[in-house]
A and B are shown apart, each in its own frame.
Chain A
Amino acid sequence: MLPDERGYFGSYGGRFVPETLVPVLDELTAAYQQCQADSTFWDEFESLSRDYSGRPTALYYARKMSERCGGARIFLKREDLAHTGAHKINNALGQGLLARRMGKHRIIAETGAGQHGVATAAVCAMLGLQCIVYMGEEDMRRQSPNVFRMKLMGAEVRPVSSGSRTLKDAINEAIRDWVTNARDTYYLLGSVVGPHPYTVMVRDFQSVIGKEVRWQILEKTGRLPHHIVACVGGGSNAIGIFYPFLNDRNVGLIGVEAGGRGLETVEHAASLMAGRVGVLHGAKSYVLQDDQGQIRETHSISAGLDYPGVGPEHSYLKDIGRVRYLAVNDDEALAGFQLLCQTEGIIPALESAHAVAYAARLASSVDKEQIIVVNLSGRGDKDLNIVTEALEGDK
């Protein structure tokens, strides 16, 4: 069973954090282990997942998109229909319940696209917890609707003006807050990154996605899918849908990173494709860095994928070859975004549009008997301004 007790997936993971946080992480690990073995915790998680988050989310056969691609049958896992509009609610709910159980009433979080921030704000409102969200100034600008949502639900959004003013810097600032308020603050980290035990907890809370896909696809088609496609920034929606299928060797797993303006440029966020092993935000993993070990600034049209690191379990899955990783550029993601809007009347998040775009490419190259499941990790309302700008820029 991975990770090992030190939080390693092979040679990736661990806990590269200031000493102040090590005892805090020990406490968190112990509290989570107690929850893992406690059925009342999971009963509450499942009941709220159903009644609050709206689970299970649908698995939808995208007939018209499949026809347009002219090949495999494409199914969409509709995480965009979950409460607050993305898969992020699964993890926010799980960790929110854990924080309350630990008696920590001050919750801090980072957010890139704003989806994790919104999910955390919602859960904190519902559980009666104080919520502070760190968000890069650049991200606040490009995802302003989500800033407003967080504030409406009572969260304080703190702008981060250091570095590239995006997700990476928001995490730095959240960690600084956490180091300062270590005793009474719970850091509700939003992806499968960071020091142990976050990579395990977030995976556990998100793997509800893959568990549902398994019974849903069996119900609809009588078999497991040939391919599962998900976008990878930090990688939580991807781990969530991949994890329950890791032992099903016939199910191909494909992670799609943000290719930005192309992997041949430096303007992308494809850590697994173009990074090398390093330590960022408490874990060893593939990291986009220069030859001096300084973390690189990244670019993606999608704020949620605009991050120079990736979850350590993805690094492990890449190295052992269980998951195939590739990158989709901004332009292709935009085309995927439009394709889904036009063929299915579904507006995907730009993050998820990367997975949609690759699924379309894959579908057209395989035969009609094949089944592809795409994790439609979020909805795209938040991205309308960016998409409008990008499409008008083309004219």
Chain B
Amino acid sequence: MRLRQFFELVDVQARMSLKAEASKLYLSYLWWVLEPVLYVLVFYFVFDVVLASGKADFLLFLMCGKIPFLWFSKSVNSGSNSLVQNKGLMGQLDVPKTLFPYVTLQEVLYKQWAVFLVLFAMVMYYDNMPTLNWLWLVPLMVTQYVFIAFCTLLGAWLVSYVRDVRMLIHMGTMFMLFTSGIFWDINQVQNEALKQALLTWNPLAFMIDAYRSVLMQNQMYDLRHLGVLAGVMAAGLVLVHGLYHGQSKRIAARIVAS
């Protein structure tokens, strides 16, 4: 399958999937915006009204962490099932198996656009107007996508061997939720060694901090760190692609027989 054909297929499959999903709902595509807005409202109610955290922009702080995190967790959790879920198709068609996780990634990505727009609107509501500095979000998002793709493809491959891995992936994303500095500020960790370890070994912790630097403080993040991260993740992704390519038929045989 040629590369362009592959991209077209990923795109059409993802759109069709979203269309099918939207057709079942009365408010159809409106949910793409409604869902994140309701999400913000729930957090507002809990943290600003009930807990009365006191800090003026705590809600914004939360959302700058939670929304990029949701992109990660939704992709990885649903993408990890993508190979085993497409058992029927896999038994009838010799396609590159990377197709299935990428379709899920693309589905989540299309929806994520609306979610990011809600986030940007919220940032502006808090008087942080867009500057040219916001353009630094682009390399950040690209790196995050590569990171997500790496995790999803690896996860889906592991699940195709042992389905139990799915449980571990759920636990793993939960672990990330609490260690990536979504509810707390990583810069306030007193132990410097621990802080550095978190930033080095948890890519999401670094990325979430970077989103906040740009959106809340209108500042630059550590570009060198991002560069290294992007390089490592891209290399990992290439390796996983090699794995899928070499094992294409074995994956199909395993899933068809399961």
| A, B bound | no
